[in-house]
Structures are given as structure tokens and as C-alpha cells.
Amino acid sequence: MTPEDPQALGGPAVPAERFRKPWVRNLLWTAGTVLVLYAMVAADVVLRAREAYREGEKYMRWHEHPDQKESELRKEFERGKSALDRKLAAGKIPKERYDRELEILKFDLDRRREESAVKYAYVWYQTAYELFSPPESRWVKLSRAKAPAAKEKWKEELRSQNIRFEDYMLE
């Protein structure tokens, strides 16, 4: 070994000139870009799974506490109505359109009151573990664990309303 040898000086085993070649630089940039892209996609999927899980939790909470469901739906209706009131007062919409959109808000409120909260809880849990895995994140695992109980509660609700169903209909 000569003193100019990088290994003799404790330096890298590969000469630095190798990294100056254009094809090597392009390969490294491409590999780095692919890794960053993969990390971004994985983070996005995990965040979507978390959001789906949280929606499932919200609907399960609404199933267990119908008063919270009513309160949140009423607040949402009031926000929409106040936005319409502001538009009407500012002259941005005519009275006929205001009446029509207010009727739509009331219809949506009534429809959402009647919907099964536990059904939506199950669907959101199912969405988390079917659409947002892999990776097998914490949210996917929690959703997969809670979905069967939500499905059973949904079945109980359907039976109590004398609605006939088969298991395949709930998938």
C-alpha cells in the first residue's frame, strides 16, 4: 500500500471519482427520489387510515350517545344556515335561492338524523383496513380490531327494526 492509497489513510474503499460520473449521479438521484416518493406515499396512506379510523370512532360515539349526534348535526345545520343568512343579507343570493338551499339543509339534517351511526362506524373501520393497508399502521390494526364489534351492533340494530338481511349484504 502506498501513502496515496485511500485505504491506507483510512479513507473510503471506493475512489471519489466514481461518484463524479454522470450515470452514477443520475442513479443516486433516481434512487433518492424513489425513496422520498415512497416515504411520502406511505405517510399519506397512514394519515388517511388515521382519518378513516377517527371517522369510525366519531360514528361509534354517535351510536352510543345519540344526544351528541343530534348536537353536532344541529351545530352543522346552524353553521350552514348562518352562512346562507349572510349571503342573503349581503344580496349575493335571491330569496328564492335562499329558500331552496335552506330546504336542502333541512332535508340533509333530517336524512342524517335517520341514518344509522353504527353502520357508518363499521364502513369507516372497514375503509381504514381495506383501502389504507399496507402499511399495517396503528390505525389499520385498531380499525381491524373494532370492525367486527361494529358490524355486530349494526346487525342488532337491523334486527331490532325487523329489517331482513344476509351477511353478504353488509359487506
- How does pLDDT run across 9-65, given as a tens digit for each residue? 555 555 667 777 888 889 999 999 999 999 999 999 999 999 999 999 999 999 999
3 — pLDDT class (breaks 50, 70, 90): low
Q: Encode pLDDT of 78-99 as tens digits.
A: 999 999 999 999 999 999 999 9
For residue 11, tell me if it sits in a domain: no
Closest CA relative to residue 122, chosen from 52, 69, 44: 52
For residue 71, tell me if it sits in a domain: yes
For residue 6, tell me if it sits in a domain: no
Counting other chains too, the contacts that 80-88 makes at CB distance below 8 Å and 24 or more residues apart are 80/105, 81/105
4 — pLDDT class (breaks 50, 70, 90): low
For residue 4, tell me if it sits in a domain: no
C-beta of residue 123 within 8 angstroms of C-beta of residue 63? no
pTM of the model: 0.76
For residue 8, tell me if it sits in a domain: no
Per mean pLDDT, which range of 11-15, 88-92, 125-129, 155-159 is the poorest? 11-15
Q: Domain total for the chain?
A: 1
CA separation for the pair 64, 146 (Å, rounded) = 14
For residue 132, tell me if it sits in a domain: yes
Residue 65 lies in domain: 16-170
Output the average pLDDT for the chain. 91
Grid cell digits, residue 168: 353478504
For residue 69, tell me if it sits in a domain: yes
Helices (H), 90-137: 95-114, 117-131
